[in-house]
Amino acid sequence: MNVKYIGMDVHKEAISIAVMNGEGKLVMESIIETKASTILQFIQGLRGDLHVTFEEGTWAAWLYDLLKPHVTELVVCERAHSVDEDPVAEVCRQFGLSRESFYQIQQAFQELGFSSFQSRKRGRKGPVKLSGELLKFALAQKKESPTIDPGHLAALIQERYGIAIHRTTVLRGLKKNTARDDAAPRLAAPHS
């Protein structure tokens, strides 16, 4: 009896195929296009009892329907990964995750450890107000050149202090300080 065991690694563009004989010896390896006519041509070129297996995934249902009439046995298996001996697909079902999300979380954990689970503050990481020495610098520049653009001022702050501040932050800081100066009581000039 001529038995062949065929393993397929299925992807959008191509399928990697390994074929073993009944004794478990690798007799053929091939990469073919993920296209119905190409796949059927490959399968029909093999003789004997064909036992095919591939992992579940995006193409599994389509490939199953395509191959079922042409092979002796067809097995769709889960990925060969587990979490505490439970298949990844089952763990994902229990926790309401997609497998893609699971693998992204797993990769983050491998790279960052437990810190990957800590919440990170969203939004700007740097200063949000123009104050202190930066404010004094901006005011001095504005006094020297009253028509200076806030974007240019932000660039000067970046150049001098190495701190990136958005032009809007510069504009708000200058307006707030100017409003304070305008609200300050002024002494009346003596009448002559």
Residue 138 has a pLDDT of: 87
Residue 60's CB is within 10 A of a number of other CB atoms, namely 14
> Mean pLDDT for the chain?
78
- The answer to whether 66 touches 40, Cβ cutoff 8 Å, is yes
- Would you give the DSSP letter of residue 34? S
Q: What is the mean pLDDT of residues 23-52?
A: 91
Q: What is the mean pLDDT of residues 1-8?
A: 85
Residue 74's CB is within 10 A of a number of other CB atoms, namely 19
Between 16-25, 42-51, 79-88, 183-192, the lowest mean confidence (pLDDT) is in 183-192
Q: What is the mean pLDDT of residues 97-125?
A: 64
126, pLDDT greater than 60: no
Q: CA 64, 70, 74, 80 torsion: positive or negative?
A: negative
What amino acid occupies position 146? P
56, pLDDT greater than 90: no
Confidence of residue 68 (pLDDT cuts 50, 70, 90): very high
The predicted model scores a pTM of 0.43
Tokens of 143: 């006094």
Q: What is the mean pLDDT of residues 29-49?
A: 93
